[in-house]
Amino acid sequence: MTVTAVAPTPPATSDVAEGPRSSRRGGGVVLFVGLSALYFTIGTILVLRYNMFDPDATSRVANAGYVVFSRQPHLSAIGFVWNPLPSMVEIPVLQFSRWWPELKTHGLASVVQSALFMAGAALMVRRIALDRAVGAAWRWLAVACFALQPMIVVYGASGMSEAAETFFLLWCIRHLMQWIRHDRVGDLAWAGIALGLGYLARYEVVPAAVGAAALVAVIAFRRARSSGRFDSAILSVVIVMFPLTCAFTIWAVTGWVVSGELFATLSSQYGNGSQVAGAAERGGPLGQAASDDWVVIGARLLGMQPFLGVAVAGAVVVAALRRNVAVLVPIATMGPVLAFAAWSQYSSTTFGWFRFYLLAIPLVVCVALACWTPHDDEPARWRAGDLVSRVGAALLAASLLIGIPVTVRAMSDERIGNQQLQFGLKSLADPQRYPPTEQWFRRLMVNDRSLADYFDRRHLPEGSVLMDTFNTWGIWLSSNNPRQFVITSDYDFNPVMNRPWDFGVRYIVASNPVISDADALNVRYPSLWNDGAGLGTLVHSVYGATGDERFRVYRITGGPTAPVG
């Protein structure tokens, strides 16, 4: 297979050319604003009306809140277990919680973040279609296949980090396609920047970068003159990998300097590895999520996008017969992430959530768009002239007419679509079969808010309540007085934990070790949950939605200068 470079298209300067460009910019702005509003509205209704959310999203809002609203505000309070970018985006949003408290107390700042990123991802799909000179009708069909796909809508409204990951990988794919067409170093650099920023959103961007770098190396090697092929390939890989390498190194070293751990998500007691191991020991829904059944893995992957296999096989054929290497870019970039998700689920390295296969949706859309051969003329509305572009058009139509119903069916299957948001949506349509009282995720924050109110009514001074926010982040978010809490990210957390009575602590919040054994207070005081570890007396208990006791509040009575609350 040979790869030929196409000369860059000179910028148009005539009034005729400027008109369509201005119109396209206006269409992009309308699309972005409209989709952002749609996703945010759906997310807000789900949270405020139905108390329906994913705890991972709201806990990231708490990480952002610790940076600005805790007793000792500092940037490192954002934590080093999870990628920082979603929480960093939420920090300025939280400033508006003074006027709209629900941005903090109900975690709506996360919905703002995911809505913006998912709308940006749809905008990238549109830009890819414009780059490939796809006719307007097929272009908007491609945008609809992505932006209105149920899982995309749900996770654009969920506050999770999937939206940011999708946006940055689509950004990378767009510029890699442009680099293949125009051979501009700038496009390669932008693709690398997208990967570097994407790593700050999700760790799964690393396999995407490896796949992208491998494809870049092969193309650069084949494209260069024989005498400088290796140099060209190496330099191209360096350009595309440099931003991610910097992000990877800076994030790891910063975590090591601040917390003593290079990769906290792997080594920390709060990290993913610890949570998966604990869930496996306890069993239940979390323990069953990482199924090693290849049938279940395949059902989740194809349930997300049933035409994934067709798109991959077709892309390989098109690349080989038509020398259209651009169709391989989505596969080389998003394919490794999907493979990693499947392997991680099979090996029980992480939870096997249905959402981990979300990238199958934009992968198929991008392969379909790459089937069009770009040209410099204004395309006809329904332009799909050659056989390959007709295949792409058929793939888009099938994804819309067949793929979306299949995904809806997979979302409602309890063995495949194993995510609480999907089941919550199903319960709205069938409340008799799925009553809210039996859904713990519909009632999770209710009890946290009641405990926050318990403390707020006492008008406690700063630093009066000691708790590890690994499990109690909902209490901190819901409180109108967050400075009353001594939390894990505070500089003095360990000294206060060792001698709470010397620091004016009046109450300790103990988390049930059966639910989670990563709580620092339970580690420091193994009998805290059972008897207060000699520090105080039990004054309050909080029960969860499933009837299990989640928190116990002990009033400090031990120590030489213990205060009386």
Where a domain ends, among 390, 406, 428? 428
pLDDT, residue 191, reads: 97
443 in Cβ contact with 545 (< 8 Å): yes
pLDDT, residue 51, reads: 80
**434, part of any domain:** no
Which residue range is the domain that position 39 belongs to?
Answer: 20-428
- Domain identity same for 360 and 454: no
What span, in angstroms and rounded, lies between the C-alpha atoms of 488 and 494? Answer: 8
- Domain identity same for 242 and 381: yes
**89, part of any domain:** yes
List of residues 6+ apart from 238 with CB closer than 8 A: none
**334, part of any domain:** yes
- Domain identity same for 310 and 198: yes
Where a domain ends, among 428, 458, 485? 428
- Domain identity same for 354 and 213: yes
116 in Cβ contact with 90 (< 8 Å): no
Residue in the structure block whose two tokens are 């191991």? 277
**547, part of any domain:** yes
pLDDT, residue 10, reads: 45
Between CA 316 and CA 321, with CA 320 as vertex, the angle to 5 degrees is: 120
- Domain identity same for 29 and 111: yes
**408, part of any domain:** yes
**104, part of any domain:** yes
**135, part of any domain:** yes
Burial of 87 per CB tally in 10 Å (0-12, 13-18, 19+): buried
pLDDT, residue 331, reads: 97
Where a domain ends, among 408, 428, 448? 428
Rounded to the nearest angstrom, the gap between the alpha carbon of residue 36 and the centroid of all alpha carbons in its chain is 16
- Domain identity same for 513 and 380: no
- Domain identity same for 173 and 109: yes
Q: Which two tokens stand for residue 496?
A: 């206060």
What span, in angstroms and rounded, lies between the C-alpha atoms of 403 and 416? Answer: 15
DSSP for 74-124 reads -GGGG-SSS-SHHHHHHHHHHGGGGT-THHHHT-HHHHHHHHHHHHHHHHH
DSSP for 9-22 reads PPPP-SHHHHHHHH
Instruction: Encode 502-519: b = buried (16+ Cβ within 10 Å), e = exposed.
Output: ebbbbbbbbbbbebbbbb
- Domain identity same for 172 and 293: yes
- Domain identity same for 388 and 477: no
- Domain identity same for 247 and 172: yes
- Domain identity same for 403 and 449: no
Q: What is the DSSP letter of 157?
A: S
465 in Cβ contact with 536 (< 8 Å): no
What span, in angstroms and rounded, lies between the C-alpha atoms of 46 and 42? Answer: 6
Question: Number of structural domains, the chain?
Answer: 2
What span, in angstroms and rounded, lies between the C-alpha atoms of 355 and 376? Answer: 38
The amino acid at residue 441 is F
- Per-residue pLDDT for the chain (565 aa), expressed as one digit of tens each? 444 444 444 444 333 344 456 667 788 899 999 999 999 999 999 888 878 888 889 999 999 999 999 999 999 999 888 899 999 999 999 999 999 999 999 999 999 999 999 999 999 999 999 999 898 899 999 999 999 999 999 999 999 999 999 999 999 999 999 999 999 999 999 999 999 999 999 999 999 999 999 999 999 999 887 777 888 999 999 999 999 999 999 999 998 988 888 877 766 656 565 555 555 555 555 555 556 678 888 889 999 999 999 999 999 999 998 888 999 999 999 999 999 999 988 887 777 788 999 999 999 999 999 998 887 666 656 666 678 888 899 999 999 999 999 998 888 887 787 766 655 566 666 655 555 555 545 555 678 888 999 999 999 999 999 999 988 999 999 999 999 999 999 999 999 999 999 999 999 999 998 876 668 899 899 999 999 998 999 999 988 766 778 899 999 986 644 444 4
- Domain identity same for 422 and 552: no
What span, in angstroms and rounded, lies between the C-alpha atoms of 534 and 506? Answer: 14
**233, part of any domain:** yes
pLDDT, residue 435, reads: 58
**Tally of CB atoms within 10 A around 432:** 6
The amino acid at residue 204 is E
